[in-house]
Structure 1
Amino acid sequence: MKVKILLIFSVLLSLQCSPEKEYETSLLQFMPENASAIIKINDYNSFTAALDDNELVKKLQTLDLSKKISKLLVPLNYAQPSQEALLGFTIDSLQKLNFTFTASDTIPYLQLSEVTDKKIETLQHKDFDIKKYTVEGHDFFTIKLNGKEVLSSSITILKELISSFTTRNTNQQLAKFYRVSDPSKLAHLWINLNYSDVLLQYLTETRTAPLPSGFADWLFLDISLGNEGLFLNGISTAEASETNYLSLFTGAKPLANSTFEMLPANVSSFASYTFSDYTSFSTNQMRYLNQNTALDSLFNTIEEIGTAQLGKEPLVLMKTFGTDQITDYLKAKRKSAEAFQGSEIWELGDASLLVDTFRPLVSGFESNYSSVLENTLIFAQDKKVLEKVIIAYKNANTIQTTNLFQNIEALTTEASSILAIANAKGFEDRLTEYNFIETAKQLGEAKLSDYIFGSEIISDAGFFHSSYFIKKNSAKKVKNSITPLFTLHLDADLRSVPQFVTNHRTKMGELIVQDMDNVLYLVSNNGKVLWKKELDGALQGKVHQVDLYKNGKLQFAFTTNNKFLILDRNGKEVKPFSIAFPGGNLNPLAVFDYEGKKDYRFVVTQNQKVFMYNNKGKIVSGFKFTSAPESIIEAPQHFKIDRKDYLVFKLANNTLKILNRVGKVRIKTNEKIPFSDNSINVYQNKISLTSNKGLLYQIDTKGKLSKTDLGLQVDHGFDATSKTLAIMDDNVLRIRDKEVSLDLGVYSKPTIFYINDKIYVSVTDIQNQKSYLFDSQAVPVPNFPIYGSSVIDMANIDSDRKPELVIKEQDNSFTVYKIN
């Protein structure tokens, strides 16, 4: 029988967050007065069938605590009552677990006629026959008392029951809930927390964990089982002592739980505590802690405390209806402050502030850093954790976008005194934190990664509405969620936009970036700096990857203001590619590979001069265009249209030079074009560019030039592929024939990416630090915009076919995200 699941997990989940004579005869009179827990079963056959069919119960049978109770309850395999039944658990003076079972049936329900391995003895006690059964190696006892058959693993319990039956008292609260229990429910679980300490210690074999007797007096819960999990709903009482944990919330009206809305999507557990009147909470807290005076009233505007685990790192959140008083205090006590994504992060000088003020809700936490999001103060022990919270909130990548939130939404109310939620890993971590170490380990082995653990407590007049659940995470995975992989802070502010490159050994993506001290960084796809190299100047344009020796090993090729360099995988210069150009003023490097055979042509342009090098660092003598009539104003480009090569140079006098491989004119163009600040592309098999007058110029392979007035502003942005045109004009983005109006701002040029057979178009509002992403039909990718202050780069940097993007965050940091 599998009732052990109901018993132990209701107590463990609760951690995550006077007698009177009974004159009427009820089954309760057959239960030990010191029972730790009682299960009332309304229909025995239906209950046992539901346990047998429940997927969660099957998974939890592997736990040691489940095995202990299964072994104890073997005698119930021979019991077949047809009516209501009670099952009670007690721990005796020898720390042995026992059970007592009885049913409403007036005829014997113990069925042993078909069992051959059995021995039955009759013992006498005060004129009562006590039968001792030894069945298939298991001992148990029964008596007939007041017309009922009572079965127990302990003869001592039955003797005490005989002696006290006519004079015994039944707990008033227990009797009340027995009378009002709904017979249509599958079963009910009643836990006397004042007697449950030894039970929990026995089942989990721990003596150092928090004891449930300090939580409340009683739990009265209805049991529901289904394909999705286990659900316990009812009430808790905490009347016997002001030192019960739930007494902290006595007299406080529950409020809407909202601090979790600030938490990143990958949080493993969180808890929310609300109180409509902080003074009332403070008074309850003073009694609970046995203090003579209330704690500091600095926080009297607080109405919710949230705690959470982000990986191994804890967080504390405080929602307030008046932040000024608290923030003024924190600013006065701060050691330093820095800006991060439009928020301020303060390094605080009082690590024990929250523990001193909010214990026992907050414990073992150092309030080293703090920030404010809307009306919520967020505290972290590690600054990087606080940065992750801010990034997730700014990018709307919070827990509200996850399956976890969608699954608990229907199970919880909008307002509660205590709300605690965890995924399997988070619940295991909480058990470990409470010193249920072995239980946590076994829970991990039970493979419950697709389950959610939760509890909710709502304060009411004299009692607390309580619910506990373990629910299967049944919703489909949220598509296109944006997950931050890591944020990296450089030694100095960024000079270049982070760019994805390829690790030729692993075939995975990496990043290359330069800071304002001209230091070049190579960074792995998990955020580890692989090497740093100081250059003599700033990068010009992009870094190109080439395979000089045609052996699969890639090198990095680029120009600075006055040098053409190629570095190997380890950041060392590849000889002879460290070529200086007196006078500097180099354009970005151009790399041509005409046939895709890695016979590279490296083109360096300096003012009017053109230098073309081969794989060995030698000038290509056959290339005749070594000097232009005017200064070349950007890196030349190579296009292949209808199997012919076109080398295009943009000159300072607003003319184009369109050449063939050897540097001779392939298309003669005489018309001057007032160039916009956009690159040249091939669109519709035509060399295409825009002017600062808002015209689209296109030149076909026969040299015919056409002009289309697009009505663009001077500072418009333009990018194109063979079939896709993207234009950013003021706050209107055009992709093919679709238009999207964005918020007013200052936008970057659009950038087109082609990844995993899908086109993406990105623009960034530099003024408001928001980056947008659209598909080829101008449909926004869900969960964008994200926070950022640069254009993005995109690539698939691992093997999962889910693209990643990188964007500058602060002046000295960038973040890599995954699009799921």
Structure 2
Amino acid sequence: MRKLALLFCLLTVLIKCEKAPTTGTSLLHLIPQKSAAIIRIPYWEDFSESLKANDPANLLSETNFSQTLIKYSALFKNFKPVDETYLSFVALGDNDYDLALITESNPNLVSKDSVFSVFINAVSTYDYEGVSINTITINETPLHYLEYNSIFIASTSKLILENAILQNNTGRDPIDASLEKMIKTSNAQRANLYLKGSRFKKLFRTILPKFKFSSNATPFEWLAVDIDLEQVESLQLNGVAMTLNEGKQALDLLKNLNPGQAKIAGITPSTSRGFISFNYSDWETYRTNLAVYQNAAPKAFKIPFTEYFQSTTETGVIYKENEQLIVSTSSDVEASKISLASISTEKEKFRGTPIYAVSDSTFLQKAFGELLDPPSVHFYSAVDSYFVFAKNPTQIKDLIANYQNEAVLVNTASFSAFSGKMSDESTLSFYGNTKSLADYLSAKVDKKHIKTLKDINFKNYPESFMQLIQADDFTYLNAAVHKIAQKQKSTQIVQVASVKLDTDLLSPPQMLKNYRTKGQDILVQDISNILYRINSSGKIEWKKELDGPILGKVEQVDLYKNGRLQYAFTTPSHFYIIASDGDIVKPFDIEYTDKITQPLAVFDYDGSRDYRFLIVQNDKIIMYDREAKTVDGFLYNKAPAEILQKPQHIRLGNKDYILIQLNSGKLELLNRRGETRIPLKDQFKFSKSPVFEDSNSFLVLEADGTPVTISQSGKTTRQKTKLGADFQFSKLNKTEASLVENKLTINKKSQEIELGIYTGLKIVQAANKYYICVTDLQEKRVFVYDAKGNLLPNFPVYGASEIDFGSLKGSKDLGFSTQGESDSVIIYQIN
């Protein structure tokens, strides 16, 4: 692994050059026969400068992996070759690799001011076939070298040097003819990388030891890549792959296929890890290539559902976080549907789009197993000209939702900017989100490198691309990482998941803090009174059956004052506190004979987590402390009339107020002991709104929309301007919002919105900003505005209930949850 690290460190420091190097063919013939990878470097002296200058190469500079590379590259940095140099990565065993440096001798080959020169007198020497082989140890690592016939060779293995001497003395020429051709036709102005196809996969697994290839087949004979580091903010790779042209190597499957546009980006969700797309304008040509590859007679070779493939021009795989979908682009949608009719049965409709069960789950694998390694599929749906296949309907629904919300790659500014730098057409193309790829690959590396790989900041380099273009019996490669300006990023609303419950929702989903991730989880109850906890990725973590419906909202508390939060709520007959794992926190499983009539009220007067829990039973109140003991000092145990809403706690200045609305029209303003703090003579026609804090006073909204201000001295002031009946109102700190019919007012800025049946108007604070949320139940649309009254980009989106809004996966990742279909919860993320 450490020797492989050296090779890739040297890759990152390859330099631009302004002068064509000399071509010493004798050097080519000294390249070791079992070379798995070779780097040809026209000039050496600017290695470190190139490493420092190129931003993409520097992304790994602080990782443990990179530090290992730097350590072992120090062995070769002490050399100063003048002419072209070859670095060869040689396979001496199944998983054993060594390095060799080959160049022409010159008087200044060993830098006089280098650390290497300090050890020059400590060199040990032995004779092999008349040639002196020298050995020196630097940082406990031995390095062997020789000078012979104006050639200098250094290696981490004595055997490589001995083989070179034998080659020269016996006249044997180990150079691969196809490799020599590719080297001589490479761009001499840039550094080049050559990979041997038969050794490529073993080489790859030395970096990612847990990576599994779908096939053991050799992909190509040799791959030659020119490495372009001329632009500081990009890394460009251009090259060509050569096969033996016998039809048995994987890239032979692309033979004689014309390239096309990768349209799969038009339906790939913008949060995807990436995609792979294969274009085949001539299906029969590909079928013939596949027959030869599988040792079958082309005329007799058949692939199931040929009619389907003949009606499509592209098939690819979309990689999401933990799942894969297959997508084909159809040139004749009706023909594609007819060809699949014999294996399709309609199971359901999602937003008007049929979803079919597929009886043959492997027919796509039979066609594209060697190129795409697609998963088995059990369902499909036709979305415009796209045919989408997946293991379950939920995956298809999420993709349809994001497609309808236009939250797809092709609509992102960064993808558009990046794809504009690539070829318009390709035969096989690979796209990757760099951060998601790093997270995915972190599971494939050694444990000590996992965290550092995950922590790399890819903010300026969010995407990477590679294209294979078939032409003239060669496969041309084009790959790049470019810096994408921050101003080119755009906002999208992406459906993360649609979570199907066992039965219909009883109430809208609620987002609550996850003390471990600092993001949010979703709690929701169905009509069978089952409570679900769903994580931010859409996974149901647990279910718990309750004795009845939860009244109002679930509250979060920290009973043990250790940062671990619990869920507190009431049903009509129970007071529960449940831990984050779904277990009841004893003794908070309190059952009541008399019905509980209002949601649980939780007071934390001083922010000390010495909670007070208030249970309302019509006109009675029971107050508990954090140990579930009745608070005897609270005197307001029985109200003179039925209590309309759950009690509230508001702090003005240094005074605490407990507010209780009664159906008699009386508003009680109490102190902590339950004694009257402000006596009020006025009666109120209460609406469904709570009492709000307003400029060191209280604000009551009456049923006809009349705002009433109550001072701390008890003075009541009714405003002449009324909101009107059937109003909705929300206030949080200095931000206000109201909705009457289709007139929406945010901080005194009014606007007409489309007519609808609106619910759930509320103001939320997330990531230090205020947002106003409301849902149109008639059209099932969710709207989110900023504090200036501007609708956020790409809203509205689909939603069938009021939403809960907050930081979804972390402190800065905004998202929200809402009802989708009658039995599903939708989780959205705002990118």
TM-aligned CA distance change 1:249 to 1:604, over 3 Å: same
In the alignment, residue 220 of structure 1 is paired with which amino acid?
A: A
Aligned counterpart, 2:377: 367
Contact 1:87-1:101 within 8 A present in 2 as well: yes
TM-aligned CA distance change 1:698 to 1:567, over 3 Å: same
Q: Which has the larger radius of gyration?
A: 1
How far apart, CA to CA, are the structure 2 residues paired with 1:161 and 1:91?
20
SS at match of 1:791: coil
Pairing partner for 2:228 from 217, 224, 234? 224
How far apart, CA to CA, are the structure 1 residues paired with 2:745 and 2:803?
18
Answering whether residue 319 of structure 2 is matched by residue 309 of structure 1, we say: yes
How far apart, CA to CA, are the structure 2 residues paired with 1:192 and 1:301?
37
How far apart, CA to CA, are the structure 2 residues paired with 1:77 and 1:507?
45
In the alignment, residue 254 of structure 1 is paired with which amino acid?
A: P
TM-aligned CA distance change 1:641 to 1:149, over 3 Å: closer
In the alignment, residue 301 of structure 1 is paired with which amino acid?
A: S
Aligned counterpart, 1:790: 801
Aligned counterpart, 2:287: 282
Aligned counterpart, 2:641: 626
Matches within 5 A, 1:32-51: 32=29, 36=35, 38-47=38-47, 50=50
Matches within 5 A, 1:762-773: 762-773=773-784
How far apart, CA to CA, are the structure 2 residues paired with 1:457 and 1:375?
24
Aligned counterpart, 2:102: 101
Matches within 5 A, 1:462-541: 462-468=473-479, 488-500=499-511, 512-520=523-531, 532-535=544-547, 538=549, 541=552
TM-score, structure 2 normalization: 0.72
Deviations, residues 161-190 of structure 1 (Å, cap 9, x unaligned): 56659x99984885476367343x3x2234
SS at match of 1:734: strand
Alpha-carbon shift at residue 613 of structure 1 (Å): 5.0
Deviations, residues 672-712 of structure 1 (Å, cap 9, x unaligned): x8x988677566646443767xx6554655444333266x7
Report the more deviating stretch, 500-509 or 412-421: 500-509
Contact 2:3-2:97 within 8 A present in 1 as well: no
SS at match of 2:680: strand
How far apart, CA to CA, are the structure 1 residues paired with 2:402 and 2:382?
14
Contact 2:498-2:826 within 8 A present in 1 as well: yes
Answering whether residue 49 of structure 2 is matched by residue 28 of structure 1, we say: no
Alpha-carbon shift at residue 362 of structure 1 (Å): 3.4
Report the more deviating stretch, 771-780 or 380-389: 380-389
Contact 1:542-1:558 within 8 A present in 2 as well: no
Report the more deviating stretch, 677-686 or 2-11: 2-11
Matches within 5 A, 1:469-618: 488-500=499-511, 512-520=523-531, 532-535=544-547, 538=549, 541-542=552-553, 556-558=568-570, 560=572, 565-569=574-578, 570=584, 578-580=592-594, 588-589=598-599, 591=601, 602-605=615-618, 610-612=619-621
SS at match of 1:707: coil
SS at match of 1:256: coil
Report the more deviating stretch, 379-388 or 367-376: 379-388
The runs of 5 or more residues in structure 1 that have no matched partner are 12-24, 125-129
Contact 1:639-1:682 within 8 A present in 2 as well: no
How far apart, CA to CA, are the structure 2 residues paired with 1:779 and 1:369?
40
How far apart, CA to CA, are the structure 1 residues paired with 2:561 and 2:82?
81
SS at match of 2:371: coil
In the alignment, residue 824 of structure 2 is paired with which amino acid?
A: S
In the alignment, residue 360 of structure 2 is paired with which amino acid?
A: D
How far apart, CA to CA, are the structure 2 residues paired with 1:202 and 1:547?
47
Aligned counterpart, 1:380: 390
TM-aligned CA distance change 1:479 to 1:556, over 3 Å: farther
Contact 2:238-2:477 within 8 A present in 1 as well: yes
How far apart, CA to CA, are the structure 2 residues paired with 1:168 and 1:477?
51
Aligned counterpart, 2:14: none
Alpha-carbon shift at residue 763 of structure 1 (Å): 0.8
In the alignment, residue 255 of structure 1 is paired with which amino acid?
A: G
Answering whether residue 714 of structure 2 is matched by residue 708 of structure 1, we say: no
Deviations, residues 241-293 of structure 1 (Å, cap 9, x unaligned): 33332333333333332424544455444322223343443343333334333
TM-score, structure 1 normalization: 0.73
Alpha-carbon shift at residue 752 of structure 1 (Å): 1.9
How far apart, CA to CA, are the structure 2 residues paired with 1:377 and 1:411?
28
Deviations, residues 459-506 of structure 1 (Å, cap 9, x unaligned): 334433313457799969979876777654332111112235679999
Alpha-carbon shift at residue 156 of structure 1 (Å): 4.3
How far apart, CA to CA, are the structure 2 residues paired with 1:35 and 1:172?
14
In the alignment, residue 244 of structure 1 is paired with which amino acid?
A: Q
How far apart, CA to CA, are the structure 1 residues paired with 2:534 and 2:438?
34
How far apart, CA to CA, are the structure 2 residues paired with 1:197 and 1:541?
58
Answering whether residue 710 of structure 2 is matched by residue 726 of structure 1, we say: no
TM-aligned CA distance change 1:625 to 1:463, over 3 Å: same
SS at match of 1:666: coil
How far apart, CA to CA, are the structure 1 residues paired with 2:367 and 2:430?
21
Alpha-carbon shift at residue 738 of structure 1 (Å): 2.4
Answering whether residue 253 of structure 2 is matched by residue 248 of structure 1, we say: yes
In the alignment, residue 517 of structure 1 is paired with which amino acid?
A: S
Contact 2:668-2:680 within 8 A present in 1 as well: yes
Contact 2:620-2:637 within 8 A present in 1 as well: no
Pairing partner for 1:416 from 406, 416, 426? 426
SS at match of 1:416: coil
In the alignment, residue 81 of structure 1 is paired with which amino acid?
A: P
Alpha-carbon shift at residue 425 of structure 1 (Å): 6.9
The runs of 5 or more residues in structure 2 that have no matched partner are 12-21, 137-141, 155-159, 579-583, 625-629
Contact 1:132-1:139 within 8 A present in 2 as well: no
Matches within 5 A, 1:688-703: 688-689=700-701, 696-698=706-708, 702-703=715-716
Answering whether residue 258 of structure 2 is matched by residue 257 of structure 1, we say: no
SS at match of 1:493: coil
Matches within 5 A, 1:426-465: 426=437, 444=450, 447=453, 450=456, 454-465=465-476
Aligned counterpart, 1:273: 278
Answering whether residue 323 of structure 2 is matched by residue 322 of structure 1, we say: no
In the alignment, residue 277 of structure 2 is paired with which amino acid?
A: S
How far apart, CA to CA, are the structure 1 residues paired with 2:176 and 2:648?
92
TM-aligned CA distance change 1:769 to 1:428, over 3 Å: closer
SS at match of 2:758: coil
TM-aligned CA distance change 1:641 to 1:87, over 3 Å: closer
In the alignment, residue 778 of structure 1 is paired with which amino acid?
A: G
Q: Aligned pair count?
A: 757
Aligned counterpart, 1:18: none
SS at match of 1:233: strand
- Give me the identity figure in percent: 19
